[in-house]
Amino acid sequence: MRWPIQRQLLVPMLLVIVLASTLSSGVSAWVGSRWARREESDRLSRVVATLSDANFPLQESVLQKLAGLSGAEFVVWDAQQQAQAATLPLDADVRDRLKAVPETGPLSDLSSNPLVEIQGRSFLTAKVPLRRTATRPLSLLVLYPEDRWWTATRGAVLPPLIAGGVTALAALVLTALWARRFTRPIARLSQQSESIASGDFQPMPLPNRDDELRDLTLSINRMVEQLTRYEQQVRRNERLKTLGQLGAGLAHQLRNWLTGARLALQVHARECPLGEHAESTEMALRQLGLMESYLQRFLTLGAGRDEAVRPRESSEVPLIELIENVLSLVRPRGRHVGVDLQWTPPTSLVVIHGDRDELQELLVNLLLNGIDAAAQFPSSSHGAWVRVELHRAVSNRVRLRVVDSGRGPADAIAGQLFEPFVTDKPEGTGLGLAVAKQIAESHGGSIGWSRSGETTCFELGLPA
């Protein structure tokens, strides 16, 4: 059975409030009724005391005045049960019924005294002695109208009961309104959770009050952010997986074609020596080898595998030699697009441990990225250039910087520059920097970029 939170909050509070209000109003009504009855009894007792202490004769005119003041009727009896004076007409039947009223003593609470009906009206009775002499003892019969007695009692009981009812009703309304202040945000949180479950990852506006509901809203918004990142990661992984599956067949064909082209070029170089042009043939062979390695890395990234295809061969890699080798590979590309490649090697030897082929691919990607950026937006004063800097930093770290004169990446992709397929180049694939980051992190290093003035700098940190 569903038990909403509003009822869980409302019902116990209402039970406590109604119980407290009922108990309070009940006690007040009981005290008020006792007070009203005692007040009427005390007033009649004072009348009786006045008549008992009076020295004047108790005539009917005197009793009529006291009846007007007290609201009661009076009958004076002698010792022979004869009415000496009365404030109401007495016929034989009324006399007989009044004679049967026993003596009650001092007035206390008329509600427990005998009840007599006279001329269709009920009276509460009390018979008390007035004065006793040896010759003529008298007694006073007090007849108080029953309806007047209960009217006075109701007048004392109803106000606290009405006040208790109004208090309970006001408590019901206020408690319901107070409960809605909690249930409304909870209902919005429930709707937001359903939206999240359906795939709508939109954050909720924060409540104004700093309470537990605000903390819960913050937690849900953090969950939405994490789910958004997870969704993007899943989609990216799906794209990469699809790319890997589609590229598996293509890789086989491309590998065959590249192998055939390299073999044909090697046969041609042996059979037809080129003399001074042999360097161009060697460069072409190296470019074909680089294409094969790059294709393999592309397929490895697409399949989500780093080490499954080729085990990493870790060895000592002289960075100066590696940089000069990579510069020889990309310099024809730089000359073709009019970009000047600048490199001043350090005087001391810099050696790191890693996979030479992977590090070469990393540097090729960084340099080609810089060449493309500088060629696309050359500097108006110094032309297009790319500069390579190598430094040995502190804590056994090596810092390699590739600085170009381009204008840098667009703001829209600046925060996702190292994600796969993120690029602002018309003919770019968005995989070069993603592969560079993957290689850097697999070697225990890091890579980042910054913009300073009119230059863009990609900085690579590797353990020495």
What does the CA dihedral 210, 214, 215, 220 come to, rounded to 10 degrees?
A: -160
Position 216 scores a pLDDT of: 81
Residue 118's nearest CA partner among 86, 91, 82 is: 91
Q: Give the side-chain half-sphere CA count within 13 A for 369.
A: 30
Query: For position 220, what pLDDT does the model report?
Result: 83
Q: 9-47 pLDDT, tens per residue?
A: 667 777 887 788 788 888 887 887 778 777 777 777 777
Q: Among 406, 319, 391, which residue's Cα sits nearest to residue 356?
A: 319
Question: CA-to-CA distance for 10 and 172, rounded, in angstroms?
Answer: 8
pLDDT at 58: 75
Distance CA 213, CA 171 (A): 24
pLDDT tens-place string over residues 253-302: 676 777 777 777 777 777 776 666 666 677 777 777 777 766 665 556 55
Other Cβ atoms closer than 10 A to 363: 24
pLDDT of residue 462: 92
- Residue 87 · residue 63 · CB < 8 Å: yes
- Cβ count within 10 A of residue 123: 26
Two tokens, residue 246: 């589609």
pLDDT number for residue 290: 72
pLDDT of residue 249: 64
**To 10 degrees, what angle do helices 356-376 and 278-303 make?**
100
In this structure, are residues 265 and 288 in contact, taking their beta carbons and an 8 Å threshold? Answer: yes
Paired residues of 446 in beta bridges: 461
Question: Which helix (H) or strand (E) segment is 387 a member of?
Answer: strand 385-393
| Residue 60 near residue 130, CB atoms below 8 Å | no
Can you read off the two tokens belonging to residue 46?
């004072």
Q: Give every residue of the chain whose pLDDT is below 70, as ranges.
A: 1-7, 9-10, 54, 105-109, 131-136, 243-249, 251-253, 255, 273-280, 293-313, 378-381, 393-394
Question: What was the pLDDT predicted at 379?
Answer: 63
- Listed in order, the ranges of the chain carrying CATH 3.30.565.10 are 314-463
pLDDT of res. 148: 81
Domain 314-463 in CATH 3.50.50.60: no
- Give span(s): CATH 3.30.450, the chain: 5-160
CATH class of the domain at 5-160 = alpha beta
As given in the structure block, the two tokens for residue 55 are 């020295």
Strands 121-131 and 138-145, sheet pairing: antiparallel
pTM comes to: 0.47
